[in-house]
Chain A
Amino acid sequence: MEFFLQNLVNALQWGSFYALIALGYSMVYSILMLFNFAHGDIFMVGSYIGLGIATLLLGLGVSAGWAMPGWLVLILTIIISMFLTAFVGILVERIGYRPLRDAPRASAAITGLMIGIILETGNLALLGARRMSFPPLIKSVTYDFGGVFVTNKKILIVLVSLGLMYALHNFIQRTKWGMAMRAMSYDYLAVPLMGVSLNVIAPMTFAIGSGLASAAGILYGLAYPVLDPYMGILLGWKAFVAAILGGRGSILGAALAGFLLGFIEIFVAMIFPSTLRDLIAYSIILLILTFRPYGFFGQAHSTQLRL
Chain B
Amino acid sequence: MRRFSILAVACLVVALAFTTNAWSFGRKTVIKIGINAPITGDIPKVGEGTKYAAEMWLEDVKKAGGLEVGGKKYPVELVIEDNEAKAESAVKANTKMITEDEVLVIVGPQSSKQAVPAGDVANNYETPMISPWSTNPNTTKDRPYVFRGCFLDPFQGPVLANFITEEFGFKKAAVLYDVASDYPKGLAEFFKQAWEKLHGPGSVVAYESFTTKDTDFSSQLTKIIKSGAQVLFTPQYYNEVALIVQQAHELGWKGPIVGSDSWGSAETVQLCGKDCYGLFFSTHYAAAGATGATKAFIDRYQKKYGYVPDDVAALTWDSLGIVKTAIESLDKLTGKIKKDRKAVRDAMARVKNYKGITGQMTFTEDGDPIKCAVIVRISDKGEYEFYKSVCP
Seen from chain A, the residues whose Cβ lies within 8 Å of a Cβ on chain B are 3, 6-7, 10-11, 13-14, 130-131, 133, 136, 140, 142, 144, 147, 149, 151, 153-154, 223-226, 228, 230-231, 233-234, 265-267, 269-270, 273-275, 277-278
Given the complex, which residues of B lie within 8 Å of A140, measured CB to CB?
246, 250
Q: How far is the CB of A61 from chain B (nearest CB, A)?
A: 19
CB distance from A145 to the nearest CB of B (A): 11
Residue pair B246, A225 in contact (C-beta under 8 Å): yes
B211 adjacent to chain A (CB < 8 Å): yes
Give A178 Cβ to nearest chain B Cβ, in Å: 33
How far is B219's CA from A225's CA once the two chains are assembled, in angstroms? 18
Contact B223 A270 (CB under 8 A): yes
Interchain CB contact under 8 A, A149 and B250: yes
Chain A positions within 8 Å of B226 at CB level: 3
Instruction: Verify B242–A226 contact, CB threshold 8 A.
Output: yes
A131 and B252 alpha carbons, distance in the complex (Å): 26
Q: Which residues of A contact B214 (CB under 8 A)?
A: 234
Top 3 A-B pairs, shortest CB-CB distance = A10-B218, A269-B219, A149-B252
* Min CB–CB distance A12 → chain B (angstroms): 10
List the one stretch of B22-30, B63-71, B267-275, B305-313 in contact with chain A: B267-275
Residues of A near B209 (CB, < 8 A) are 273-275
Q: How far, in Å, is A113 (CB) from chain B's closest CB?
A: 18
8 contacts between A and B (CB under 8 A): A7-B219, A14-B218, A133-B242, A142-B252, A226-B271, A233-B213, A266-B218, A270-B219
B218 touches A13 (CB 8 A): yes
Residues of chain B from 219 to 277 with CB closer than 8 A to chain A in the complex: 219-220, 222-223, 226, 239, 242-243, 246, 249-252, 267, 270-271, 273
Given A133-B242, A133-B270: A151 and B216 within 8 A (CB)?
no
Main secondary structure of the interface of A (DSSP, over half): helix
Known A-B contacts A151-B250, A225-B242; the reply to A275 vs B219 at CB < 8 A is no
In B258-305, the 8 Å CB interface with A consists of: 267, 270-271, 273
Contact of A266 with B242 in the complex, beta carbons under 8 Å? no
Q: CB < 8 Å: which of A13, A136, A225, A274 contacts B223?
A: A274
Q: Does B57 contact A (CB under 8 A)?
A: no
Contact of B239 among A3, A131, A267, A277 (CB under 8 A): A131
A3 engages B222 (CB within 8 Å): yes
Q: Which residues of B contact A10 (CB under 8 A)?
A: 216, 218-219, 222, 251
CB nearest neighbor in B for A276: B209
Partner of B216 from the list A6, A14, A233, A275 (CB cut-off 8 Å) is: A14
Whether, in the assembled complex, B210 has its beta carbon less than 8 Å from a beta carbon of chain A, the answer is yes
User: Given contacts A7-B219, A133-B271, are A278 and B250 in contact (CB under 8 A)?
Assistant: no
B271 touches A131 (CB 8 A): yes
Determine if B205 is an interface residue (Cβ-Cβ < 8 Å).
no
Contact in complex: B215, A231 (CB < 8 Å): yes
Determine the distance from Cα of A269 to Cα of B222 in the docked complex, in whole angstroms: 10
Judge whether A269 and B223 touch: CB under 8 Å.
yes
Report the separation of the CA atoms of residues A154 and B382 in the bound assembly, to the nearest whole angstrom: 27
Residues of A within 8 A of B267 (CB): 130-131
Residue contact B179 to A275, C-beta cutoff 8 Å? yes
In the complex the two chains form, is A224's CB within 8 Å of B219's CB?
no
B208 interface residue, CB < 8 Å from A?
A: yes
> How far does the Cβ of A304 sit from chain B's closest Cβ, in whole Å?
35
Assess the A6–B215 pair: CB atoms within 8 A: no
Q: A142 to B243: give the CA distance in the assembly, Å.
A: 16
With A131-B271, A142-B250 as given contacts, are A266 and B219 in contact (CB-CB < 8 Å)? yes
Asked whether, in the complex, the Cβ of B222 is within 8 Å of the Cβ of A6, the reply is yes
Q: Would you give the shortest CB distance from B221 to chain A, in whole angstroms? A: 9
Nearest chain A CB to B359 CB, angstrom units: 32
Contacts of A147 in B (CB 8 A): 252
Q: Distance in Å from the Cβ of B218 to the closest Cβ of chain A?
A: 4
Give the residue name and chain of the B residue nearest to A230 (CB): B213
CB nearest to B226 among chain A residues: A3
